[in-house]
Amino acid sequence: MDIKILTQDTPNPNAKKYIMNRPVKREGKITYQNQDECFNNLLAHDLFGVAHVEALHFFDNVITVTQDGEGDWEHVDWLVRAIIETRLPIHNADFKDKPDVIEKPKPVDPELAKIDDILDTTIRPGLQMDGGDVELVSLDAHVLSIRYEGACGSCPSSTMGTLHAIQSILRENYNPSIIVNVI
């Protein structure tokens, strides 16, 4: 099967989505911040070899590539496509996540699960369509700590617009006094 790659811009000028006609991550999602985290993902490892690439987000059949803003997208795009075309045929979409994720599963907090369900039906579809996502880190009293992933990680609109939207939706659907912080 020929590899087909569709490139889409994201709201973040430093991130692009690469959508393939085959999966890159069958279950879950993963964000890498550096080459050292890609211990079992040669495709991600090689993509970090492209100058200016600073983050990768794998989800379903999408890789979101975030660069530092110093690279010429035309050149970065050409190199990213070349690596995907050569590595995707031998890529294992069932690869295991980072060891710390496997060894230290997060405790299931029923309140975080409620918030997660709300975000799954409201915010996440839009973020994922734009090549990003949000991870719930902790809930302490009425303060929710989140971490942006993929294109959302360095997007200017995620620090205000998206954060405000998340907080508003959670205040309406979960707790009127919740405060959302990005870590």
120, 174: one domain: yes
Mean pLDDT within 97-101: 58
Q: What percent of the chain has pLDDT over 70?
A: 91
Which is higher by pLDDT, 91 or 156?
A: 91
Count the domains in the chain.
2
Q: What's the rounded Cα separation, in Å, for the pair 83 and 101?
A: 26
pTM: 0.74
Interacting residues of 163 by C-beta distance below 8 A, sequence separation 6+:
180, 182
Q: Residue 181: beta bridge partners?
A: 145
Q: Which CATH number does the domain housing residue 114 bear?
A: 3.30.300.130
Give the mean model confidence (pLDDT) for residues 92-99.
Answer: 80
Q: Are residues 21 and 37 in the same domain?
A: yes
Contacts of 90 (CB under 8 A, 6+ apart): 42
Q: Tell me what percent of the residues of the chain surpass a pLDDT of 90.
A: 55
Cα–Cα–Cα angle for 66, 87, 18, rounded to 5 degrees? 35
86, 138: one domain: no
- Give residue-wise pLDDT tens across range 159-175: 677 888 888 989 999 99
39 vs 80, residue with greater confidence: 80
Q: For residues 28 and 96, state if they share a domain.
A: yes
pLDDT at 181 over 80: yes
The pLDDT-based confidence of 40 (bands split at 50, 70, 90) is: confident
Among 76, 102, 128, the domain-final residue is 102
| More confident position, 45 or 152 | 45
Residue 86 per-residue DSSP state: H
Could you say which of 71, 102, 133 is where a domain stops?
102
84 and 125 housed in the same domain:
no
Mean of the pLDDT values across residues 143-164? Answer: 78
The answer to whether residues 17 and 33 belong to one domain is yes
- Kindly tell me if the per-residue pLDDT of 100 is higher than 60: no
Same domain, 23 and 93: yes
Give the CATH number, domain containing residue 14: 3.30.1370.70
- The distance between the two most distant Cα atoms of the chain, rounded to a whole number of Å, is 52
* Same domain membership, residue 115 and residue 91: no
32 and 88 in a common domain: yes
Angle, CA of 68, 73 and 74, to the nearest 5° = 155
User: Confidence band (pLDDT; 50, 70, 90) for 105?
Assistant: very low
Distance CA 123, CA 13 (A): 20
Residue 66's beta-bridge partner residues? Answer: 15, 55
pLDDT class of 98 with cuts at 50, 70, 90: low
- Verify that 16 and 80 share a domain, yes or no: yes
**pLDDT at position 150:** 76
Length, in residues, of the chain: 183
Q: Is it the case that residue 158 has pLDDT exceeding 80? A: no
Do residues 127 and 52 both lie within one domain? no
Specify whether 34 is located in the same domain as 78: yes
pLDDT at 129: 76
Q: Which of 102, 124, 142 is the last residue of a domain?
A: 102
Where in the sequence is the domain holding 18, given as residue range(s)? 5-102
Q: Residue 102: what pLDDT? A: 43
